[in-house]
A and B are shown apart, each in its own frame.
Chain A
């Protein structure tokens, strides 16, 4: 450490002989001395230029990469002119001194003696001690010049003049710090003195130099060793460090690193090199490692640890205060901790020194200290806070009056007593500081975190504060803090207490409104009321009382009680005037009454509804007063779609108001709201005077109507959407747009035509009447495809774009055909139905069953005779009937093999036909008809058609004279034949059906051989009940031959 109060002085020097310098003392040192440092070059290495030595402060700080000698040499700069002038000035001064000496008395020589040099290697410090020899006076001021050389005596690196007041037998001390570790190089020191006292004659010259004293910390370096210095030396962050390496004999080519950064050295001699580190940084509290490796020789790791301390910071925000006038609590911000590991440096200490009392106390904490007040009379304190570590010391000062630094304790015993629902009394106590000391307390009342009341109270010992204007049934937090009233320093901590005020009866009547509508012959009344706010309710509303009085006839009022939080009640009242009183009740009482009158015609008013347009801010509702003595008006509103069960909202207005703006957070775009304006009479009777409806913002229709197609024809159809509800749309429907699309479409009059890509035409028809929900589309092409879309529109736009519906017109011809086919189809169906109904009859008439030959009675006859011939003879047969169609009887006999029998037996007279004019015309034909099942045969019997031979075989047919008997016999035979025929059916030839006219009609063959003859027919046989045969049909039997003949003639 260099002494304080150094002086920079410039003096002259020439060649090897240095001129004496008179150094002006400007400040005293603690030792009574003052040092002036002179660095110059002399001896064997004279400076290149004679010039001026420079006095510098502190140890020499050679530049990086230069030897100390060179640095010293560089510092001493010749300045020829100034040197000459300076020398002249000094000579003049010496002359004056010599004159003074002669005046004052005899001069004497001051000589340093007993010089002792010691070292502190860790601090790299050289300490000098000496005494002053030849001192004849008690005390004299002298100047001691000290020279330090490095490596060799001639290499002077430091010259300093040290001024001191010298007493007899006094030992003088001086020290010097080397920038190079003392282990590495040898230093030489010498000293001389001179009297510098105005009381004595000036000494003519310096005393002689003391002998050179060699200074060296001797260390032995073994051949295989590398020593690194300084060891365990502490540096401050940002300082420059010179590291010295001492090699053993066998060591060379050494490379070193600071942690991982290579560092380069400068060879001082063969075994010593220096490494300079500038502006070293703090790396870690465990030190920064320097490790060196020897390239050849030993593989040992050599190294050193550089301990770099952070710069000690000045304490900040140093302050002291007291709470009880017994202890001063001083606090400060300590700054960074400069402690280093390996016990190199402890955390910086903090010491408090009070100058008036002279007490000094070391703090046990880094940031605070409690200073006991011992002298109660002391009011003013002057503190010096000093922090110190191994390298540095810093101090801050604080002076204050104790009464100005009072930080009171938080108030105690805070109590709050509620006087009523709106008043409370708060009391508290404070710590007393004597009669003269008063505190100022701040009272704060908070509700839900918000300060609603603040008041300052001057307090000596205890205080109270009335808290008024409180809300009933409300929770509050009251708190208080205090500070010195005379001189504010700091508020104390808050002391707080929470409390609640008791309930009070509700202060305001309920805001009530009603909705009335007819229901089953009565008036349904829904009463709504708005819950009271906390400030109005003054407590928790428990229930609502409703009293209903009939105003027409005095009856006992009806009471209803509704538990909170319900806000609606529905009553059914007959159509008479009623008065309804409603109150809200809490534990403290009831609110003022709200009165509502229901008149006879409430809910039956008919008022025209007006459409209004709202904005996003709400609706502007205006009305015309009806009567001049209205008590006020009520505007209520509801969502249109909710009906009477909506969430009814209302607003009550004064009598002079005829318009208002209704705003609500619940208003939504696209929702229709219905407003009603009521006029309140003086009797609280409400009369509906206005109905309005509207949207805050209309939106485009959300859906298109479902369109039905009616009356589709070949050239027109009708579109209908009667079911479309235009009221439920998010806007007032203004009309409908009908789009019709087709190819080669000719738009009708009043339709708007648009051409579409692909040769399509779009026709648009606007229906500007929202109530018109049908449209006939005409003049269309038959059997053509059309597409249509019906979409509503309002002020916000039209409905959604949906796909078109396709419809195809019908075919015109097919329509006409349809007009014919339909009746025909109907007739056919009728006929089929009839036929089905008469199916049995039709079957018997048109499709008689084919007789089964096996059932024939002939078979039974054959069987009975057991004729070996399969061919039945005519005699064996019993002819049913023989019909002779042709008059030419001769030819007939030839037609059949046994024609004789036929011709003889056949009753010709009954079937005689009129003769034909053309003999060759008619072809004689013979019909054999089996009337086995023909009822007509029996009828013929009565007409004489039954052949005679029947009478010849009475044993068989005698019983068959009547038709019933005949039928019985035949049936019997038939059944018998069914039993007996199977064995003989293969040999049976049925010959009764057909007679070939070709074989027997010779005349005809001769006369007209080329014509094919088709005169013979098989006549269908049907078993038709005789009763069902119409007379005409019976007559046809005779007519048949006529027709056939006629045909043959053709």
Chain B
């Protein structure tokens, strides 16, 4: 654990630098789709690392025993699978990521009550900010590509947690496991997003029709986007 500390520090530093530039981008979107794409890839790679959130959570909630860890990984929470993400069109993909991260951000907020003080789990607040940053970049990329953040069709989510056997409110133990699964699913989801975005950059598995550059050129011939499309709040539905 001690050996991981410098790595975590490094990770935090990288995230800070990355999201600092991203915060600047929030105020005004970058005009370079390549830059946005690159940033998103980096952000997805970093947030896909379980050391940024899941591992501290496991440590703080005493979920270290192997049986409990297995419980975290056995049944991931409801996040679109990588195949499902890859099958989406670019606009749909961006919308899905945007909406999913909105849900993640909300869910991360609820995790705060699991601790006495927010200072006990500083990674949580950092993760919330990062999530918002990624969402902003997704929004900017969608706007740059002239793909309004459309309402995504519900992706085929993996089975959700089992229903409570006796009571409507889950036990704390189950809530711990559920939160752990949720975080694991979040990291996995971000990893998938990063890989899909990398394919975009490579252009290997995407059609020419979806090339960001081409889309940008096409977009230049279109009319200016409406005020609603420029708004950071997309008209999307959260996948359930």
Residues 58-77 of B, flagged 1 when their CB comes within 8 A of A and 0 if not, give 00111111011011001000
Which A residues from 659 to 677 make CB contacts under 8 A with B?
Answer: none
Residue A123 is within 8 A (CB to CB) of chain B in the complex: no
A270 CB-CB contact with B under 8 Å? no
Q: Does B32 contact A (CB under 8 A)?
A: no
A303 at the interface (CB under 8 A from B): yes
Query: Which residue on B lies nearest to A292, using beta carbons?
Result: B67
Q: What is the CA–CA distance of A228 and B174 in the complex, to the nearest angstrom? A: 12
Q: Are B114 and A286 in contact (CB under 8 A)?
A: yes
User: Shortest Cβ distance from A262 into chain B, in angstroms?
Assistant: 11
User: What separation, in Å, do the CA atoms of A337 and B114 have in the docked complex?
Assistant: 17
- Residues in B with CB closer than 8 Å to A287 are 62, 172
Task: Tell me if A341 and B65 are in contact (CB < 8 A).
Answer: no
Closest A residue to B165 by beta carbon equals A225
CB distance from B63 to the nearest CB of A (A): 7
For residue A298, give the distance in angstroms from its CB to the closest CB of chain B: 10
Q: A232 near B: Cβ within 8 Å?
A: yes
Number of contact residues on A: which range applies? 35 or more
In Å, the complex CA distance between A70 and B190 comes to 58
Known: A231-B171, A286-B62. A291 touches B68 (CB 8 A): yes
- Cβ 8 A contact of A342, one of B74, B114, B166: B114
| B115 touches A (CB below 8 Å) | yes
B-chain residues with CB within 8 Å of residue A290 when the two chains form the complex: 173
Mark interface residues in A430-471 (1 if CB within 8 Å of B CB, else 0): 000000000000000000000000000000000000000000
In chain B, what residue has the closest Cβ to A261?
B65
A301 to B178 CA separation, bound complex (whole angstroms): 11
| Contact, CB under 8 Å: B116 / A303 | no
- How far is B65's CA from A260's CA once the two chains are assembled, in angstroms? 6
A259-B62, A286-B62 known; A220 and B172 CB under 8 Å? no
Instruction: Give the complex CA separation of A260 and B67 in angstroms.
Output: 9
Closest to A290 in B: B173
**B188 CB-CB contact with A under 8 Å:** no
Identify A286's interface contact among B61, B65, B70, B71, CB under 8 A.
Answer: B61
Q: In the complex the two chains form, what is the Cα distance from A228 to B167 in whole Å?
A: 13
Q: Kindly identify which residue among B74, B114, B173, B175 contacts A291, using a CB–CB cutoff of 8 Å.
A: B173
Q: Is A715 an interface residue (CB 8 A)?
A: no
Count of chain B residues with a beta carbon within 8 Å of a chain A beta carbon: 26
In the complex the two chains form, is A222's CB within 8 Å of B68's CB? no
B166: A residues at CB distance < 8 A: 219-221, 225, 227
Assess whether B60 is in contact with A286, with CB atoms less than 8 Å apart. yes
CB distance from B191 to the nearest CB of A (A): 24
Q: Is the beta-carbon distance between B116 and A288 smaller than 8 angstroms?
A: no
Quick check: is B176 within 8 A (CB to CB) of the other chain? Answer: yes
Contact A289 B68, beta carbon cutoff 8 Å: yes
Confirm or deny: A418 has a beta carbon within 8 angstroms of a beta carbon on chain B: no
B149 to chain A, nearest CB (A): 36
Is A304 in contact with chain B by the CB < 8 A criterion?
yes
Q: How far does the alpha carbon of A341 sit from the alpha carbon of B114 in the complex, in Å?
A: 5
Judge whether B177 is part of the interface by a CB distance below 8 angstroms.
yes
Contact check: which of B113, B162, B173 meets A305 at CB < 8 Å?
B173
Is A986 an interface residue, CB under 8 A from the partner?
no
> Which residues does chain B contribute within 8 Å of A231, judged by CB atoms?
171-172
Are A343 and B62 in contact, with the CB atoms below 8 A? Answer: no
- Contact indicator A304/B173 (Cβ below 8 Å): yes
What total of A-B pairs shows CB separation below 8 Å? 82
Residues from chain A with a CB closer than 8 A to the CB of B74 are 299, 301
Residue of A nearest to B164 (CB): A225
Would you call the interface of chain A mostly helix, strand, loop, or mixed?
loop
Interface membership of chain B positions 111-139, coded 1 if the CB is closer than 8 angstroms to chain A and 0 otherwise: 00111100010000000000000000000
Q: How far is the CA of A301 from the CA of B120 in the complex (A)?
A: 27
Q: Which of B68, B116, B173, B177 contacts A341 (CB 8 A)?
A: B116
Contact with B along A269-303 (1 / 0, CB 8 A): 00000000000000111111111010000011111
B165 touches A227 (CB 8 A): yes
Beta-carbon contact of A257 and B65 below 8 Å: yes
Contact A305–B114 (Cβ < 8 Å): no
B146-177 vs A, CB cutoff 8 Å, 1 = contact: the mask equals 00000000000000001001100001111111
Asked whether, in the complex, the Cβ of A304 is within 8 Å of the Cβ of B171, the reply is: yes
Complex CA gap A287/B171 in Å reads 13
**Known A285-B116, A341-B114: A305·B172 in contact at CB below 8 Å:** yes
- Please tell me which one of the listed residues B70, B116, B162, B176 contacts residue A289 in the complex, with CB atoms under 8 A apart: B176
In the bound complex, do residue A305 and residue B116 qualify as a contact, i.e. CB atoms below 8 Å apart? no
Assess A339 versus B116: contact at CB under 8 Å? Given A301-B67, A301-B68. Answer: yes
User: How distant is B107 from chain A, measured CB to nearest CB, in Å?
Assistant: 16
Contact B65 A301 (CB under 8 A): no
Q: Does A1005 contact B (CB under 8 A)?
A: no
A26 to chain B, nearest CB (A): 43
Q: Quick check: B67 and A284 within 8 Å, CB to CB?
A: no
| Neighbour of B113 across the interface among A289, A339, A343, CB < 8 A | A343
Assess whether B60 is in contact with A291, with CB atoms less than 8 Å apart.
no
Closest to A305 in B: B172
Q: Which residues of A contact B172 (CB under 8 A)?
A: 231-232, 287, 304-305, 342
In the complex, how many angstroms separate the beta carbon of A96 from the nearest chain B beta carbon?
A: 56
A287 to B64, CA, bound (A): 13
User: Within 8 Å of chain B (Cβ to Cβ): is A402?
Assistant: no
A215 to chain B, nearest CB (A): 19
Any B CB within 8 A of the CB of A241: no
**Contact B62–A284 (Cβ < 8 Å):** yes
Q: Would you call A305 and B67 a contact (CB within 8 A)? A: no
B65 touches A340 (CB 8 A): no
- Residue from A220, A286, A342 whose CB has the most chain B CB atoms within 10 Å: A286
| Chain A positions 319-350 with a Cβ under 8 Å from a chain B Cβ | 337, 339-343, 347
Which residues on the A side are within 8 Å of B116 (C-beta)?
285, 337, 339-341, 347
Whether A301 pairs with B177 at a CB distance below 8 angstroms is yes
Q: In the assembled complex, which residues on chain A have CB atoms less than 8 Å from the CB atom of B114?
A: 286, 341-342
| Residues in A whose Cβ lies below 8 Å from that of B171 | 231-232, 303-305
CB-CB under 8 A from B64, the residues of chain A are 260
A422 to B172, CA, bound (A): 78
In the bound complex, what is the Cα–Cα distance between A742 and B175 (angstroms)? 104
Most chain B CB within 10 A, of A227, A228, A342, is at A342
Q: Which residues of A contact B174 (CB under 8 A)?
A: 303
- Contacting residues, chain A, for B120 (C-beta < 8 A): 285, 341
In the bound complex, CA of A300 to CA of B174 (Å): 11
Give the residue name and chain of the A residue nearest to B68 (CB): A291
Known: A225-B165, A301-B71, A305-B171. A288 touches B113 (CB 8 A): no
Q: How far is the CA of A655 from the CA of B233 in the complex (A)?
A: 105
Which B-chain residue is minimally distant from A227 (CB atoms)?
B166
Provide the residues of chain B in CB contact with A289, threshold 8 Å. 61-63, 65, 68, 173, 176
Give Cα distance in the complex from A221 to B164, angstroms.
11
A283 cross-chain contacts in B, Cβ below 8 A: 62
Cβ–Cβ contact B115 & A341, under 8 A: yes
Q: In the complex, which residue of chain A has the Cβ closest to the Cβ of B70?
A: A301
Q: How far is the CB of A441 from chain B (nearest CB, A)?
A: 44
Q: Closest Cβ of chain A: how far from B70's Cβ, in Å? A: 8
Chain B residue numbers with a CB within 8 Å of A342 are 113-114, 172, 175
Q: How far is the CA of A286 from the CA of B171 in the complex (A)?
A: 13
**CB-defined contacts of A343 to chain B, threshold 8 Å:** 113
Residue among B60, B65, B115, B173 with max Cβ neighbours from chain A (10 Å): B173
Report the Cα distance A339→B175, complex, angstroms: 19
Instruction: Kindly state the separation between the CA atoms of A304 and B62 in the bound complex, as whole angstroms.
Output: 12
> In whole Å, how far is B174's beta carbon from the nearest beta carbon of chain A?
8
Which residue on chain A has the smallest CB distance to residue B172?
A: A305
Given contacts A304-B171, A337-B116, A341-B116, 11 further A-B contacts (CB under 8 A): A225-B166, A232-B171, A260-B65, A284-B62, A286-B114, A289-B63, A289-B68, A289-B173, A339-B116, A340-B116, A341-B115
Q: List 16 A-B contacts (CB under 8 A).
A: A221-B166, A225-B166, A227-B166, A286-B114, A287-B62, A289-B63, A289-B173, A291-B173, A300-B162, A301-B67, A303-B174, A304-B171, A340-B116, A341-B120, A342-B114, A342-B175
Closest 4 CB pairs of A and B: A301-B71, A303-B173, A305-B172, A225-B165
B residues near A, CB below 8 A?
60-65, 67-68, 70-71, 74, 113-116, 120, 162, 165-166, 171-177
